[in-house]
Amino acid sequence: MPSRSWSSCAVLGLFGLCTCQGVGGDSDRTRRLRWERVATLPDTPGVASPFAGVHAATMLIAGGANFPDAPPWAGGTKVWHDTILATSSHDRWRVVGRLPRPLAYGVSASIEDGLLCAGGSDATQHHPDVFVLSLGEDGPRTRPLASLPTPLAHACGALVGRSVFIAGGSTTPDATSATNTFLRLDLDDLAAGWQRLPPWPGPPRLLAVAAAAAPEFVLLGGVDLSADAAGRPLRRYLSDAYGWSPMSGWRRLPDLPRPCAAAPSPAPVLPDGTILLLGGDDGSQVGVSPQHHQGFSSEILALARDRQRWWVAGSGPAPRASLRRLSSATASSGSSAAMSGRGCVRRRCGANSWPCHER
């Protein structure tokens, strides 16, 4: 049995170098991605899939889930959390309040009014609720918005222009099928609520990765679900990719070089339009015991700005799925951050913040 090796929640950083070959006859070019240490979270084992983002120059992390006492194979019980953490100094996190209920595995997007939080789950059910989390002088505030048409967790989403998009997910904790739900909320017409849009021309999925590559919403990988002989959820890891725009709808993009699920979402998009897919779970070690698990991929995949090809663009400092990217229109150009992942099934990392600066 593996030992408990829960790390403290340091926001780690490093300087990464990716070398990218030019596309379509362009000369070779070298892109440097600078990973920085930002802050250290309170001493916890880290959390999976919290709501996270930026509001008023303050980084926020809210909720999440983990196994605080022991891993699941040692009899540990998963716990959902309601803690809201904030940092504006980038050197110290502080507890600033609580969510209305413990939540994890939802979708979050940084908007002008705060952090939009949609769906998610707790220990018993998935939720359709949507609210905006903001910080005032008297502490955190939540403002309800129109609910999702159905309870939803393990979806992906991104803010593209003035619209928040949500794709995929599951509707119940014991689901044996994923959804092909594709939703849009127009921030300039909140009264209209969530609009259902045509689904992508591929399998339903959860744990996919979204990217905001304006004017396009990009959907990458994930897992489809079916029931095995005993009626338990069976995952099929996906490598297909799609882009959606208001003018042309969905189009097929080049398949990923490998399947990928639960990588940081929304994926970072560099100033030149290149999309970075950071690590994730490729499904190659499904069924491998914790003692023999080799860890998740730290490989960074890059999708060219013309959306015609992928390449391997180096490696990142934290390989696990279930990282959460911080994103904000007010963040520095080309910057993003991710936290609370795993290096392997035996160990959950703390918060890793990766401001990506193309140099």
Assigned domain for 83 exists? yes
Residue 164 has pLDDT above 70, yes or no: yes
Whether the predicted pLDDT of 331 surpasses 50 = no
Q: Which residues contact 215 (CB under 8 A, 6 or more apart)?
A: 160, 161, 245, 246, 247
- Tokens representing 46 are 């880290």
Site of tokens 């940092």: 87
pLDDT, tens only, 101-137: 999 999 999 999 999 999 999 999 999 999 999 998 8
Q: What is the pLDDT of residue 288?
A: 76
pLDDT value for 285:
79
Tell me, what's the pLDDT at 205? 98
pLDDT, mean of residues 202-219: 97
Is residue 25 one of the residues assigned to a domain? Answer: yes
pLDDT of residue 338: 57
Could you tell me the sign of the dihedral formed by the alpha carbons of 109, 52, 107, 306, in that order? positive
**pLDDT above 90: residue 191:** yes
Residue 1 lies in a domain: no
Mean pLDDT, rounded, for 328-347? 47
Q: Does some domain include residue 357?
A: no
Domains in the chain, number? 1
The yes-or-no verdict on residue 345 having pLDDT over 90 is no
Q: What pLDDT, on the 0 to 100 scale, is given for residue 25? A: 34
45: nearest Cα among 353, 352, 348: 348
- What is the average pLDDT value for the chain, to the nearest integer? 82
Report which of residues 327 and 343 the model is more confident about.
327
**Phi/psi at 106 (5° precision):** -100, -170
Contact 301, 277 (CB under 8 A): yes
Residue 238 inside a domain? The answer is yes
pLDDT at 28 over 60: no
283 has pLDDT over 60: yes
pLDDT at 31: 53
Q: What tens digit of pLDDT does each residue of 286-323 get?
A: 887 777 777 777 889 999 999 999 999 887 766 554 44
pLDDT band at 72 (very low <50, low <70, confident <90, very high): confident
**Position 339 pLDDT exceeds 50:** yes
Question: What CATH number is attached to the domain comprising 337?
Answer: 2.120.10.80
Could you tell me the pLDDT band of residue 141, with boundaries at 50, 70 and 90? very high
Taking 50 as the threshold, does the pLDDT of residue 55 lie above it? yes
**Which strands sit side by side in the sheet containing 209-213, from one edge to the other?**
209-213, 216-227, 233-245, 249-253
Residue 8 lies in a domain: no
Q: Say whether pTM exceeds 0.85.
A: yes
Residue 359 located in a structural domain: no
* Domain presence at residue 4: no
Q: 235-269: per-residue pLDDT in tens?
A: 999 999 999 999 999 999 999 999 999 998 999 89
pLDDT band at 20 (very low <50, low <70, confident <90, very high): very low
Enclosing H/E stretch for 224:
strand 216-227
DSSP letter at 174? T
pLDDT for residue 292: 75
Range(s) of the domain holding residue 85? 15-348
pLDDT in the model for residue 3: 31
306 vs 333, more confident: 306
Amino acid 223: pLDDT: 97
Looking at residues 206-233, what average pLDDT do you find? 96
**CA proximity to 213, closest of 241, 240, 245:** 245
For CA atoms 53, 125, 45, 14, give the dihedral sign: negative
